[in-house]
Structure 1
């Protein structure tokens, strides 16, 4: 394996660290509906459906036995589904049960607790539960499987003076998010190429969010001029890059862009969130002598 391949071991596959992610939180206020937005991916819909089923099961059990169910939520595998678990807070913010990493909060009042971005998500949950009885809230929390702080969507339902909740992690961006990110990047290039490329490379440039970021290749030199995840690639020969299966990623993109002006490409790459080799799908476009692209992971 050559030095370029080593240096680029995470091309199009690096998620932001918790501190970097904190600067680009996509905070979503809770709503009265637990249905996922229409634009969500199939993967997210599947995770949301699993969460909804577990929440429904927990609510049914709580209605049946009351607070006697709290111990079950803490310990019973019946109320866990892989990374999903149940937690319960009182309407005053007291944590009564948790089958996950928040177990250390049981017995404490979390009403004023904030996530890593400073979002008062428990307060939002409490306020929404008081007015609507059920809904959803998005925030950032540690995933006990990956040991990373990730975006999380929690579904909740109020039963008496208890609020039962189940959440899932948003480990992957959706196709719609990747396309929108690319559109913003293209617009920035057209407006001021030098300024855009600088922004693509900076953590605080506004073009890094979770596993989304921009990469750009100068079509004349075939060298990277921007790479939001692996800045060491900037200035390197993009044509030498291969995925773990030997696929020439950037040359294939350039060939398509030369013929069509824009395109899409699938290839294999390691997902740093799941630490598994996965399929990745990138959208790219040729604009003002630069190939600019954004990709997302699929399962």
Structure 2
């Protein structure tokens, strides 16, 4: 009888230990997951960890509902969370299939992108492995409406690359003054690029076709922005609206130097280039040497310049 009591006490003890272990396991699981079984997000104060978690949600969605449904989901603001937003790139072509905050980017090739500092980051995104990697570059922050250093986590699944990131700070280089006309010109163009990244091609053309546009200004003293397509046709010009629809050759081709400048401008790449030629300074009313900074974004060229007398 006593032996039976000992066995019973031991059995009860074992059962109690097992029950305690089960409860501890359930508590640990609850701490690491939401009520629906998904992994709970890290705090946003840990931006690297939160970014990886955010991209993983997209990968899980992709595995669960498939390619097209995932692309459709992230082609609207449902794919954005404060400064975090998701975009999806074709791993072979670099063409964007989805962008949560800038729909005008969808269908454009980001695989060769260069940021405004000259850093070639597009190929790094496109080459993301299945294990994922970080890519840093300067890009427009739609939450603050300015540029920032972006830390992007990119990871490949099948023929797609899923990317999101966080912004560390505002544009890292102090804005130059007009006493530095070359640097000021590049900043003027960068502002137009940010506007394009945020609002798209049509909005930029409309913005720069009005001399009264602000934020960013289309005209600021001798500085004004203009847009040209890859064939050299002027799409936007705030100070000489008659130029819209004309080609650079038609506008500048009266001299060999002008024809050379027109040819040079249409060969501009994403890294940008300087082109010099003689042109009317709308502020002074004189023909002066114009130093134009021009760069390519997708299928347009965005430019501005400063004038030097003599």
Give the shorter-chain TM-score range: 0.3 to 0.5
Does 1 or 2 have the higher relative contact order (CA < 8 Å, sep 6+)? Answer: 1
Structure number with larger C-alpha Rg: 2
